[in-house]
Amino acid sequence: MAQHLNPIPPDLFLWEEALPGGCHWSGILRRGNALRLTDLTGRANVSALFYNAEEKLERYNMPDTLKAQHTAHLTTGHALYSDMGHVLCSVIQDSCGWHDTVCGVSNAEMVKAKYGEATYQTHRNAMHRNGRDGLLVELGKWGLGKRDVVPNANFFSKVVADEAGKLHFDEANSRPGAYVDLRFEMNVLVVLSAAPHPLDPRPDYAPGDVMLTAWKSGTPGADDVCRNACAENQRGFYQTEILFR
Amino acid sequence: MTSFNLVESPFDPKTAVVDAVVNAGDPWIHEIKKGQVFRILDLEGNQAVDTLFYNARDPEERYSAADTVRAQGALYLTAGTQLMSTEGNVMLTITADTCGRHDTLGGACSCESNTVRYALDKRPMHSCRDSFLHALAHHDGGLTKRDITSNINFFMNVPVTPAGGLTFADGVSAPGKYVEMRAEMDVLCLISNCPQLNNPCNAYNPTPVRVLIWDAPSQ
């Protein structure tokens, strides 16, 4: 099975925590550590925002990430850039192959219109949750709010554009056990929501469960796949590393 | 090549209540009232106009590239596109477009992104995000770097391939092309007329653009 292809060595393991489908999470990942996101059911979507934990005005920047690497999606070898020319984290392993960068998150109205109402009063913790409110709740825990929400990454979701720019959601992108490893190049506040992707056409509210696993990846060497993916990344990694000299 | 849906405007520049030129490398900040019609005209062609919108009454609500893309299920902006806010409201509707395609994925250039994209010694070059910060520093609306989010690049062509690549193609604009939009709420418009010299988004020669506003047509 794919999930056993690359087990994390026990001596590098840091911690593990479940993120049930629909739920939200935030925490600090430090430089030299990695976070593995595992899609347990094959239907996960993990909307993610990243902030420099030491200066939260510095944050993940979708356009800078895309422009630097001439890509519209994320997979192995890609760096996630801040708006200040630094690499917040990079994709060092990916058994999935495509993560969306442009479609944003679901909101309360969208989830209610698409899946019907399921409140805490009637459904307890099986209530329907939406991506925007999940992110806002987590951001609030760090003194952040609406002004800090920028276009996010959506791990495990694939949306393809045709020549005219029309978007098509690929339901077969992920599978049970698919994982993506993010290595942190700075000390980063990570904010996650596992609510459904906003363009997922499936009519039932069934966001997949996710496992978060942190481990000691170490910092990138001279031969690193992300550093050497392009000349832009070599400069980006250099500018990030001088912060820690 | 995809054919574009070109729509011309009935408005006459002689009746505009605002008619100004924004030089290359300058910012421009202006409130556009609900119902007013706003045109940006590419005077010399292939000029990227980096644009942000805020709800003028509550600027925590602002233009959202991701919500705009998600709401129309398509990447490129043209006539008929509703420019969506972070709160899921329509801020403006593009009502005329003689260019045919505008970008909202490419963002605004900055000193820092220029060092990554081109060379470490590009940091001193003028950039859109410096223009945004300059304009906000002199504006009393309380907006700061925190409020600079993903923008629209009018007249810029950034095709995404089916394989997920992103390219900066030659501009699809030309002298005299324009895009026009109707404000669906009172909005604050913040423009940087892009000074980028390192890629073809301005044909390596940034040039002035003309901005016009008409009052809401009487019924």
CB contact under 8 A, A104 and B105: no
The two three-digit tokens of residue A131, written as one number? 């991506």
Mean pLDDT check: name the lowest of A155-159, A185-189, B128-132, B171-175.
B171-175
| Least Cα separation, residue A212 to chain B (angstroms) | 26
CB contact under 8 A, A67 and B106: yes
pLDDT of residue A4: 42
Q: What residues contact B82, with CB distance under 8 A and at least 6 apart?
A: B68, B71, B72, B90, B92, B93, B94, B184
pLDDT tens, position by position, B125-149: 999 999 999 999 999 999 999 999 9
| Least Cα separation, residue A232 to chain B (angstroms) | 5
pLDDT tens, position by position, A126-146: 999 999 999 999 999 999 999
CB contact under 8 A, A81 and B113: yes
Give the residue-averaged pLDDT of B88-94. Answer: 98
Chain A residues inside the 8 Å CB shell of B51: none
Which strand (E) or helix (H) includes residue A212?
strand A210-216
Of B120, B148, B162, the CB nearest to A235: B120
What ipTM was reported for this prediction? 0.96
Q: Compare all CA atoms of chain A with the CA of B87 and give the residue at the minimum distance.
A: A107
Chain B residues inside the 8 Å CB shell of A57: 145-146
CB contact under 8 A, A71 and B166: yes
Strand, helix or coil for residue A131: helix
Domain contains B199? yes
Which strand (E) or helix (H) includes residue B182?
strand B177-183
Residue holding tokens 């479609």? A103
- DSSP character at residue A208: P
pLDDT of residue B167: 87
Chain B residues inside the 8 Å CB shell of A65: none
Residue holding tokens 């595992």? A38
Chain B residues inside the 8 Å CB shell of A235: 115-116, 119-120
Distance CA B126, CA B133 (A): 12
**Domain spans of chain A, in order of start:** 12-244
Distance CA B52, CA B147 (A): 10
| Least Cα separation, residue A10 to chain B (angstroms) | 36
CB contact under 8 A, A161 and B117: no
Give the residue-averaged pLDDT of A179-198. Answer: 98
pLDDT of residue A25: 98
CB contact under 8 A, B116 and A109: no
CB contact under 8 A, B113 and A148: no
**Which DSSP string do the residues of B9-76 spell out, in sequence order?**
----GGG-SEEEEE-TT-EEEEEE-TT-EEEEEESSSS--EEEEEEESS-TTSBB-HHHHHHHHTBS-
Q: In the structure, what pLDDT confidence band is assigned to residue B171 with cuts at 50, 70 and 90?
A: confident
For chain B, the domain total comes to: 1
Contact A245, B130 (CB under 8 A): no
CB contact under 8 A, A147 and B60: yes
pLDDT tens, position by position, B23-62: 999 999 999 999 999 999 999 999 999 999 999 999 999 9
Quote the mean pLDDT of chain A: 96
CB contact under 8 A, A239 and B120: yes
Quick check: B2 pLDDT over 70?
A: no
The two three-digit tokens of residue B70, written as one number? 């998600």
Residue B105 carries which side chain, given as an amino acid letter? Answer: L
**Total CB pairs under 8 A between chain A and B:** 135
Quick check: A5 pLDDT over 70?
A: no
Chain B residues inside the 8 Å CB shell of A83: 110, 112-113, 129, 148
Distance CA B94, CA B97 (A): 7
Whether residue B110 lies within 8 A of chain A, CB to CB, comes out as yes
Whether residue B116 lies within 8 A of chain A, CB to CB, comes out as yes
- DSSP character at residue A77: T
CB contact under 8 A, A146 and B86: yes
Distance CA B56, CA B98 (A): 28
First to last CA, chain A: 41
Enclosing domain of residue B184:
18-214
Distance CA B98, CA A130 (A): 38
Q: In the structure, what pLDDT confidence band is assigned to residue B219 with cuts at 50, 70 and 90?
A: low
Of B214, B204, B136, nearest to B171 by C-alpha is B204
Pairing of strands B177-183, B37-42: antiparallel
Give the residue-averaged pLDDT of A17-34. Answer: 98
Of B2, B70, B115, the CB nearest to A104: B70
Domain contains B9? no
CB atoms within 10 A of CB A26: 20
Which strand (E) or helix (H) includes residue A46?
strand A46-52
Quick check: B191 pLDDT over 70?
A: yes
